[in-house]
Amino acid sequence: MILEQLTVGGWRNLEAVSLEPAAGLTVISGANAQGKTNVLEAMAAVITGTSHRALRDDELITAGEIKARLSAKFRRPSGSFEQTLELERAGRKSRRREGKRVVPGADPLGDPMVVLFCPEDLVLVQSGPAGRRRFLDREVAQATVGYSAAQRSYQRIWTQRNTALKRGEGHVVDALDLLWAQAATRLTRLRRQLVEALAPLAQKAYAAMAPFDPALTVRLAAGTPAEDPQVALAALRQRRAEEEARRISVLGPHRDDIQLTIGDNELRAFGSQGQQRTAAVALKLATVQLLQEAAGVRPLLLLDDVLSELDGRRRELLAQQVREGQTVLTTTDAEFLPERMRADSWWEIQSGKVAVHGTA
Amino acid sequence: MNTQGPIARLVEELARLPGVGPKSAQRLAYWVLRQDPQRVQALASALTDARTNVQRCSACQDLTDRDPCVICADPRRDHSTILVVEEPRDVQAVERIQEYRGVYHVLGGALSPMDGIGPEDLRVRELIQRLGADGVTELILATDPDVEGDATALYLAKILRRPDLKISRIARGLPAGADIDFADEVTLARALEGRVEV
Ligand SMILES: [Zn+2]
């Protein structure tokens, strides 16, 4: 699936513009704080419906505007379609495909997919588990139809149950326990399957970048003690006293983590910074491959200023990926582009204004 | 527009209606002002009449202009079976299908701790009283098929369980035109398969 056109209005500092990314590599250059990341953010948001970094939607709307609108034209083998994201300051948000509300997974011809790689992702391995769960939920999960519904459903049950615990409503907590057991085990199973599919791909990518290291293993450290609802329920009920004392759910997918080890060493605690960064790149590359295998088309790859952060081998491997599908990357300096990363389209951005410099 | 006086007051009141913003309220106000006085009088008395004469049925808690309501007062209906729903409009929806012959109980919502709605905010006590008195043998829980509706059904099943009462759960057909998230429905259907003992 190719992003053929993106029309941006009222988004962050960007001037209203209609952009046509190349089917291959588009490079966006510009000094810091000119709006490079905002363009990538818009490309990802029109696909996923949310920003990867905004805490609230109204941050995304240009100061003085009442709404932001993104409209993207995608082409797939069966034809092309338009997908829009509209945000209003009052909090209303609408995602539409060809004018109809977007229901993830409902389109039999497939949804557009995106993998975004930014400098903050390089600490994916050493930072806290929340970042790794977000990585699973936002990116890897695009490979599973029905995942986002399962995740939202669990989230809601978890919130209701936590509130019932705080309010001391024991019988209501009991009722929610049953829903919890179904939703938590379902989400755990989906996540474990995703991580199991990702693991060999990540191991291969890691070995290509660090051939002298022991193998990288990737597994889900589940916060739910079992995948059978009855067993999970029994375990949950055993912890009730503790939960009532702490007034919070102590088991469940909200405590999941991705565990990464090199040989016998847990990477997060014992890896060198170089190993941790290599593993982060490997996870991203593995995600691109996994999505490609799942859907038959490579996801849109967005690289936000990461090349300057990487050294030789890791940059080379990323460059290989760039050649295989549609990629948009930002850089402050063209010097960071490896020799064989020839741009098909080159944009420059200054104070939110995008100028197209040339297409090959 | 003048910000005080009768027109402003009318706009202010109309803007309180659900789904009506200030702009539509203004449009409605001008519509009212273009009508015959009799027409407006009819609207005004319909509003007050409905509010004054419609009350809750003391048995099923549905809205009615007589107590008990037509359904509860009907001897041909099966008073041993109670279908539990969230809102009065759910009673209307089931009645339209014309297949159910039992009576109803309207809870007035669903459990939602995050919205501050607990059991005491629903008409659960009234349901317990009915079960104690009326020779009821079957209870069908037909709260909405969402997290709150499921939680309410499971809660009721737990606190009302007794040997001589058959309790079942049906996920009522969704009202036409509702925003349906199909993936969610599948998730919830699983939750209701009864694999976990109630
Ligand atoms: Zn009645």
**Per-residue pLDDT, B44:** 94
Is pLDDT above 50 for B180? no
C-alpha separations of A81 from A128, A168, A272, B121, B181 in Å: 38, 50, 46, 47, 21
Banded model confidence at residue A107, pLDDT cuts 50, 70, 90? confident
C-alpha separations of A353 from A35, A87, A193, A234 in Å: 8, 21, 43, 58
Is pLDDT above 70 for B178? no
Spatial contact of B67 and B57, defined as CB atoms under 8 Å apart? yes
**Per-residue pLDDT, B189:** 40
CATH pick for A1-113+299-360 out of 3.40.50.300, 3.30.450.20, 3.90.120.10, 3.40.30.10: 3.40.50.300
Phi and psi at A37, nearest 5°, equal -65, -35
Answer yes or no: do A181 and B196 touch at CB < 8 A. Answer: yes
Least reliable range by pLDDT among A41-45, A75-79, A134-138, B125-129: A75-79
Q: Please state, rounded to an integer, the average pLDDT across all residues of chain A.
A: 92
Is pLDDT above 70 for A157? yes
Answer yes or no: do B111 and A172 touch at CB < 8 A. Answer: yes
Banded model confidence at residue A359, pLDDT cuts 50, 70, 90? low
Tell me the mean pLDDT in the region A271-286: 94
Phi and psi at A245, nearest 5°, equal -70, -45
Answer yes or no: do A183 and B182 touch at CB < 8 A. Answer: no
Sign of dihedral through CA atoms A43, A49, A53, A56?
A: positive
Cα separation, B157 vs B141, in Å, equals: 8
Is pLDDT above 60 for A345? yes
More confident residue, A137 or B184: A137
Answer yes or no: do B112 and A178 touch at CB < 8 A. Answer: no
Please give the share of chain B, as a percent, with pLDDT higher than 90.
57
Answer yes or no: do B148 and A101 touch at CB < 8 A. Answer: no
DSSP-derived secondary structure letter, A1 = -
Distance (Å) from CA B70 to ligand 1 centroid: 7
Residues in chain A: 360
Answer yes or no: do A230 and B111 touch at CB < 8 A. Answer: no
Q: What is the 3-state secondary structure (H, E, C) of chain B?
A: CCCCCHHHHHHHHHCCCCCCCHHHHHHHHHHHHHCCHHHHHHHHHHHHHHHHHCEECCCCCCEECCCCCHHHHCCCCEEEEEEEECCHHHHHHHHHHCCCCEEEEECCCCCEHHHCECHHHCCHHHHHHHHHHCCCCEEEECCCCCHHHHHHHHHHHHHHCCCCCEEEECCCCCCCCCCCCHHHHHHHHHHCCCCCCC
Tell me the mean pLDDT in the region A23-49: 95
Tell me the mean pLDDT in the region A256-278: 94
Spatial contact of A216 and A250, defined as CB atoms under 8 Å apart? no
* Cα A11 from chain centroid (whole Å): 20
Tell me the mean pLDDT in the region A140-155: 92
Answer yes or no: do B196 and A182 touch at CB < 8 A. Answer: yes
| C-alpha closest to that of A118 among A260, A305, A245 | A305
**Per-residue pLDDT, B186:** 36
B194–A contact, CB cutoff 8 A: no
Banded model confidence at residue A47, pLDDT cuts 50, 70, 90? very high
Is pLDDT above 90 for A9? yes
* Cα B106 from chain centroid (whole Å): 6
Tell me the mean pLDDT in the region B26-51: 93
Please give the share of chain A, as a percent, with pLDDT higher than 90.
76
Which of B155, B179, B190 is closest, CB to CB, to A175? B155
Is pLDDT above 60 for B175? no
**Per-residue pLDDT, B198:** 38
* Nearest-Cα residue of chain B relative to residue A146: B183
Pairing of strands A93-97, A100-101: antiparallel
CATH topology of domain B63-197: Dna Topoisomerase Vi A Subunit; Chain: A, domain 2 (3.40.1360)
- For chain B, the structural domain boundaries read 6-53, 63-197
- For chain A, the structural domain boundaries read 1-113+299-360, 115-296
B112–A contact, CB cutoff 8 A: yes
**Per-residue pLDDT, B170:** 77
Tell me the mean pLDDT in the region B146-157: 92
Answer yes or no: do A178 and B159 touch at CB < 8 A. Answer: no
Is pLDDT above 80 for A8? yes
Is pLDDT above 90 for A188? yes
Answer yes or no: do A103 and B182 touch at CB < 8 A. Answer: yes
Cα separation, B74 vs B133, in Å, equals: 18
Chain B residues whose beta carbon lies within 8 Å of the beta carbon of residue A167? 113, 118
Distance (Å) from CA B59 to ligand 1 centroid: 5
The residues pairing with A76 across neighbouring beta strands, listed in sequence order, are A79
**Per-residue pLDDT, B177:** 28
Cα separation, B37 vs B46, in Å, equals: 14
Banded model confidence at residue A36, pLDDT cuts 50, 70, 90? very high
B143–A contact, CB cutoff 8 A: no
pLDDT, tens only, A66-85: 999 999 999 988 899 999 99
A102–B contact, CB cutoff 8 A: no
Tell me the mean pLDDT in the region A159-176: 94
Is pLDDT above 80 for B184? no
Spatial contact of A171 and A177, defined as CB atoms under 8 Å apart? no
CATH pick for A115-296 out of 1.10.3720.10, 1.20.1050.10, 3.30.70.260, 1.20.1050.90: 1.20.1050.90
Which of B147, B191, B196 is closest, CB to CB, to A230? B196
Torsion of CA A144, A149, A150, A154, to 10 degrees: 150
**Chain pair A-B, CB pairs under 8 angstroms:** 89
* Cα B194 from chain centroid (whole Å): 25
Answer yes or no: do A183 and B187 touch at CB < 8 A. Answer: yes
Is pLDDT above 90 for A319? no
C-alpha separations of B136 from A285, B95, B100, B102 in Å: 62, 20, 16, 10
B167–A contact, CB cutoff 8 A: no
Tell me the mean pLDDT in the region A261-283: 93
Answer yes or no: do A101 and B190 touch at CB < 8 A. Answer: no
Chain A residues whose beta carbon lies within 8 Å of the beta carbon of residue B198? 178
Spatial contact of A47 and A104, defined as CB atoms under 8 Å apart? no
* Nearest-Cα residue of chain A relative to residue B192: A179
How near does any CA of chain A get to the CA of B133, in Å? 24
Pairing of strands B55-56, B63-64: antiparallel
Question: DSSP letters along A176-220, please?
Answer: HHHHHHHHHHHHHHHHHHHHHHHHHHHHHHHHHH-TTSPPEEEEE
Distance (Å) from CA B16 to ligand 1 centroid: 29
pTM of the model: 0.83
Is pLDDT above 60 for B173? no
B154–A contact, CB cutoff 8 A: yes
CATH H-level superfamily of B6-53: RecR Domain 1 (1.10.8.420)
Phi and psi at A222, nearest 5°, equal -80, 140
pLDDT, tens only, B81-127: 999 999 999 999 888 888 889 999 999 999 999 999 999 999 999 99
How near does any CA of chain A get to the CA of B148, in Å? 8
**Per-residue pLDDT, B194:** 40
Residues 66-105 of chain B with CB under 8 A from chain A are: none
Is pLDDT above 90 for A342? no
* Nearest-Cα residue of chain B relative to residue A232: B196
How near does any CA of chain A get to the CA of B51, in Å? 33
**Per-residue pLDDT, A310:** 84
C-alpha separations of A337 from A28, A30, A124, A284 in Å: 12, 14, 23, 19
Distance (Å) from CA A176 to ligand 1 centroid: 30
B144–A contact, CB cutoff 8 A: no
B151–A contact, CB cutoff 8 A: yes
